[in-house]
């Protein structure tokens, strides 16, 4: 009997630490991604072309990984719906808004506003009974939001603020929050993270390809120099890692912890924008980062302190949406 206890302990510790590792790694890649978009704009790459080609490259990378693991994305009515809606909300729609806004509001500001989905996601999760109210986790969300608002306030009050692009950029977090909830509620039963991620990116690539056919949009990439190709290649690798980690975090940590990817992204993205992009450091940067860090800590403590019965109840509530959908479909068949 003792050997079984020693073998269970590492797996239990890994299960507790894995969501935090996914969060930190995925958030770091997200922060890097916003800065790469600023470099791409400086290299005369449009937001649409940069996003389309890098998403397509990431889809190829993850598809190759899925082939290697013999775990291809399943193609059913449910999964195709899942790929398309997830891609529209969390990939094509949100990122196109963010990347288009960066030349007007800066990479640092975009890195800040992607910290806003936690409150929307948390309220939605409570409303849909996907999450039970717990003081520590609520305090974590509020702390992270306080950090984000501390950093964003000075940007909004600047005399040269471009309010149109600020508003359009702020639509992105709303799409991300809805996407976080949708992916959890509609997660196809029995399908793994590394099968869903390439399916979603392929769908996002097709959506962006369709947008590129509209008037005044282009997927053109300058080929007279190497920098645009290098940036697209690096972004493709970043996207591949970011969205694979997103699904792993979604499965292990739930939609609320997932929504903190933006908070970690801001901690990475804002300093990079200041040091490498030459952007002005926002006032209250240190306080904002401390509040965001405290929020991440409180959310993780709140998750670890859940009792087994609470964890079981939360998992059960996350599957209620799937069960309800299944009953509706059975009723239609009858």
Is the pLDDT assigned to residue 309 strictly greater than 50? no
- pLDDT, tens digit, 9 for 90 and up, residues 23-33: 888 888 988 88
Distance between CA atoms of residues 94 and 78, nearest Å: 22
- Specify the pLDDT at position 322: 47
Q: What's the mean pLDDT in 72-81?
A: 94
- pLDDT, tens digit, 9 for 90 and up, residues 173-210: 889 889 888 988 888 988 888 889 899 999 999 999 99
Looking at 43-162, list the stretches that DSSP marks H as alpha helix, in order from N- to C-terminal side.
Answer: 47-68, 77-87, 94-105, 107-113, 117-127, 135-156
Locus of tokens 């501390």: 150
Average pLDDT, the chain: 79
pTM confidence score: 0.74
- Specify the pLDDT at position 239: 92
Length of the chain: 334
Distances (CA, A) of 165 to 162, 203, 218: 6, 26, 20
Q: What's the mean pLDDT in 137-163?
A: 74
Would you place residue 150 in the very low, low, confident or very high pLDDT band (cuts 50, 70, 90)? confident
Token pair of 155, please?
């940007």
Measure the CA angle with vertex 262, ends 72 and 50; round to 5°: 60
């Amino acid at each position: 009997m003792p050997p079984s206890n020693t073998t269970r302990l590492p797996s239990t510790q890994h299960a507790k630490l894995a969501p935090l590792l996914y969060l930190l790694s995925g958030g770091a890649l997200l922060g890097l991604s916003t800065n790469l978009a600023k470099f791409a704009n400086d290299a005369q790459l449009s937001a649409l072309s940069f996003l389309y080609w890098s998403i397509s490259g990431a889809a190829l990378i993850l598809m190759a990984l899925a082939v290697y693991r013999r775990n291809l994305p399943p193609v059913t009515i449910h999964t195709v719906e899942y790929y398309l809606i997830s891609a529209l909300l969390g990939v094509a729609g949100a990122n196109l808004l963010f990347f288009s806004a960066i030349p007007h509001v800066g990479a640092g500001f975009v890195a800040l506003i992607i910290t806003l989905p936690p409150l929307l996601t948390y309220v939605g999760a409570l409303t849909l009974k996907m999450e039970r109210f717990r003081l520590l986790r609520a305090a974590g969300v509020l702390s992270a939001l306080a950090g984000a608002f501390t950093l964003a306030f000075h940007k909004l009050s600047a005399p040269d603020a471009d309010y149109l692009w600020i508003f359009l950029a702020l639509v992105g977090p709303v799409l991300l929050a809805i996407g976080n909830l949708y992916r959890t509620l509609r997660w196809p039963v029995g399908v793994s993270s590394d099968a869903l991620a390439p399916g979603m990116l392929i769908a996002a690539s097709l959506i962006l390809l369709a947008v590129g056919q509209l008037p005044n949009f282009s997927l053109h990439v300058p080929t007279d120099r190497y920098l645009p190709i290098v940036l697209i290649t690096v972004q493709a690798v970043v996207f591949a890692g970011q969205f694979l980690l997103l699904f792993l975090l979604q499965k292990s940590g739930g939609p609320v912890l997932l929504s903190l990817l933006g908070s970690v992204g801001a901690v990475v993205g804002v300093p990079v924008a200041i040091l490498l992009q030459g952007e002005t450091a926002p006032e209250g940067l240190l306080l904002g980062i401390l509040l965001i860090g405290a929020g991440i800590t409180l959310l993780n403590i709140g998750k670890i302190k859940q009792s087994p019965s609470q964890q079981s109840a939360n998992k059960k509530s996350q599957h209620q949406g799937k069960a309800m959908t299944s009953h509706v479909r059975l009723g239609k068949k009858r």
